[in-house]
Amino acid sequence: AQKVTQAQTEISVVEKEDVTLDCVYETRDTTYYLFWYKQPPSGELVFLIRRNSFDEQNEISGRYSWNFQKSTSSFNFTITASQVVDSAVYFCALSEVNTGTASKLTFGTGTRLQVTL
Partner 1 sequence: GAGVSQTPSNKVTEKGKYVELRCDPISGHTALYWYRQSLGQGPEFLIYFQGTGAADDSGLPNDRFFAVRPEGSVSTLKIQRTERGDSAVYLCASSTGSQSSYNEQFFGPGTRLTVL
Should residue 24 be labelled a site residue for partner 1 when binding is judged by CB under 8 A?
Answer: no
Should residue 3 be labelled a site residue for partner 1 when binding is judged by CB under 8 A?
Answer: no
Among candidate residues 95, 87, 94, the one with its CA nearest the CA of residue 112: 87
Q: How far is the CB of 55 from partner 1 (least distance, A)?
A: 12
Number of residues interacting with partner 1: please give it, by CB under 8 A. Answer: 26
Q: How far is the CB of 32 from partner 1 (least distance, A)?
A: 10
State the Cα–Cα distance between residues 99 and 65, nearest whole angstrom.
30
Site for partner 1 in 59-88 (CB under 8 A): none
Q: Which range of residues in 16-24, 56-64, 69-77, 104-112 is near partner 1 by CB under 8 A?
A: 104-112
Phi/psi at 109 (nearest 5 deg)?
Answer: -85, -5
Binder among 51, 106, 113, 115 for partner 1 (CB under 8 A): 106
State the Cα–Cα distance between residues 7 and 108, nearest whole angstrom.
9
Among candidate residues 1, 42, 39, the one with its CA nearest the CA of residue 21: 39
Q: Decide if 38 contacts 46 (C-beta within 8 A).
A: yes
Site residues for partner 1 per CB under 8 A: 4, 33, 35, 37, 42-47, 50, 91, 93, 95, 97, 100-110
